[in-house]
């Protein structure tokens, strides 16, 4: 399929793409050196659909990696990107600002829940999480609380692939043969209601989860814990929706012990769950 897009005269054939890919391209979670992976070769997209070199049409249910919710082939987006690239593709944020950056920060702040009113731009989800964790460390350093650096995270949680983000991710498979921070990160169980014992109500299950968080804080010491990090919905971990009231009660526990709560909304924000931010619903903050 071709939706009227110009074709490059020297575009590689499907066979060439396959050869280049097997020889040079390292894919996530794929054995290095294993040839003939036979990956689908995507050629273009339109709306919710992807197309491959064999002419097959797919519904892209996950929206790429939860990143193409507005669909493929959006002319207005392509035009806006092209216009900005021609006008000014980059300006350092260290010594300057630009209209698009300032306006976007203002719009994001206006839509953010509660009293959140500052925006720090990063290049992706992993770097956003790393930045949040480093802000937490910086905050405690400025207060002279140099021992308050620990992070509580959850099993099956996923927060990224950079060092700190991977360290607070709770998927064991993602850490095979890789070093992470095992000293300052403390894990509690995932909140999947389907994992509760037979005969236990979801309310009692929530009580157990909150007790585990409180016990972990008591064991490690509130004076050594800087933050608790959690996704409103554990996406990569299995699209796990915690029991009602779970996040609000976790937030209450954190506030009682002067522990910051990092709500990782890389996957749940910007209308994916109905509200602009899922935190509006799970915390009751507007």
- As beta bridge partners, residue 173 has none
Fold classified for 14-83: 3.90.1150
pLDDT of residue 38: 81
Whether residue 283 contacts residue 113, with contact meaning beta carbons closer than 8 Å, is answered with yes
Distance CA 97, CA 130 (A): 23
Mean pLDDT score of the chain, rounded to an integer? Answer: 93
Taking 90 as the threshold, does the pLDDT of residue 207 lie above it?
yes
Please check the confidence at residue 1 and state whether its pLDDT lies above 60. no
Q: Is the pLDDT of residue 275 over 70?
A: yes
pLDDT at position 286, please?
A: 64
Q: For the stretch 114-147, what's the b/e string if a residue is b when 16 or more beta carbons lie within 10 angstroms of its beta carbon?
A: eeeeeeeeeeebbbbbbbbbeebbeebeeeeeee
Question: Confidence band (pLDDT; 50, 70, 90) for 127?
Answer: very high
Residue-level pLDDT at 35: 66
pLDDT of residue 22: 86
pLDDT of residue 6: 57
**pLDDT on residue 7:** 57
Question: Does 26 or 161 have the greater pLDDT score?
Answer: 161
Residue range(s) occupied by CATH 3.40.640.10 in the chain: 122-282
Mean pLDDT of 62-88: 95
pLDDT tens string 25-50: 888 877 776 667 788 999 999 999 99
- Mean pLDDT, residues 164-173: 93
Highest CATH level, class, for 122-282: alpha beta
What is d(CA 286, CA 284) in angstroms, rounded to the nearest whole number? 7
Whether the predicted pLDDT of 13 surpasses 70: yes
Q: Residue 109 in contact with residue 118, Cβ under 8 Å?
A: yes
pLDDT at 57 over 90: yes
pLDDT confidence of 146, banded at 50, 70, 90?
A: very high
Q: How many CA atoms lie within 13 A of 150 on its CB side?
A: 21
The pTM of the whole model exceeds 0.85: yes
* Tens digit of each residue's pLDDT (9 = 90 or more) over 208-257: 999 999 999 999 999 999 999 999 999 999 999 999 999 999 999 999 99
The fraction of the chain above a pLDDT of 90, given in percent, is: 79
The stretch 77-86 carries a mean pLDDT of: 97
Instruction: Work out the percent of the chain whose per-residue pLDDT is above 70.
Output: 95
What is the rounded CA–CA span in Å between residue 128 and residue 262? 11
- The whole-number average pLDDT for the span 103-114 is 95
Residues of the chain with CATH 3.90.1150.10: 14-83
């Amino acid at each position: 399929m071709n939706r009227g897009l110009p074709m490059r005269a020297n575009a590689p054939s499907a066979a060439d793409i396959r050869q280049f890919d097997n020889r040079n391209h390292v894919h996530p979670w794929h054995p290095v050196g294993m040839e003939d992976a036979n990956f689908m070769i995507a050629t273009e997209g339109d709306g919710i659909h992807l197309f491959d070199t064999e002419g097959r049409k797919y519904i892209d249910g996950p929206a790429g990696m939860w990143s193409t919710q507005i669909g493929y082939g959006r002319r207005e987006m392509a035009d806006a990107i092209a216009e900005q690239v021609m006008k000014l593709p980059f300006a350092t944020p260290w010594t300057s600002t630009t209209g698009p950056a300032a306006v976007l920060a203002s719009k994001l702040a206006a839509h953010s829940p509660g009293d959140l009113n500052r925006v720090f731009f990063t290049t992706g989800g992993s770097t956003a999480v790393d930045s949040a964790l480093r802000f937490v460390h910086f905050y405690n350093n400025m207060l002279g609380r140099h021992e308050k650096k620990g992070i509580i995270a959850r099993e099956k949680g996923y927060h990224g692939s950079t060092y700190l983000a991977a360290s607070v991710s709770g998927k064991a498979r993602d850490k095979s043969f890789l070093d992470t921070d095992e000293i300052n990160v403390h894990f509690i169980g995932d909140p999947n209601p389907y994992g509760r014992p037979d005969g236990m109500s979801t309310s009692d299950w929530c009580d157990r989860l909150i007790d585990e968080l409180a016990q972990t804080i008591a064991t490690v010491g509130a004076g050594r814990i800087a933050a608790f990090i959690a996704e409103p919905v554990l996406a990569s971990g299995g699209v796990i929706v915690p029991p009602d009231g779970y996040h609000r009660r976790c937030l209450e526990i954190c506030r009682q012990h002067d522990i910051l709560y990092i709500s990782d909304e890389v996957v749940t924000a910007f209308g994916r769950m109905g509200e602009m931010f899922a935190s509006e619903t799970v915390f009751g903050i507007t």
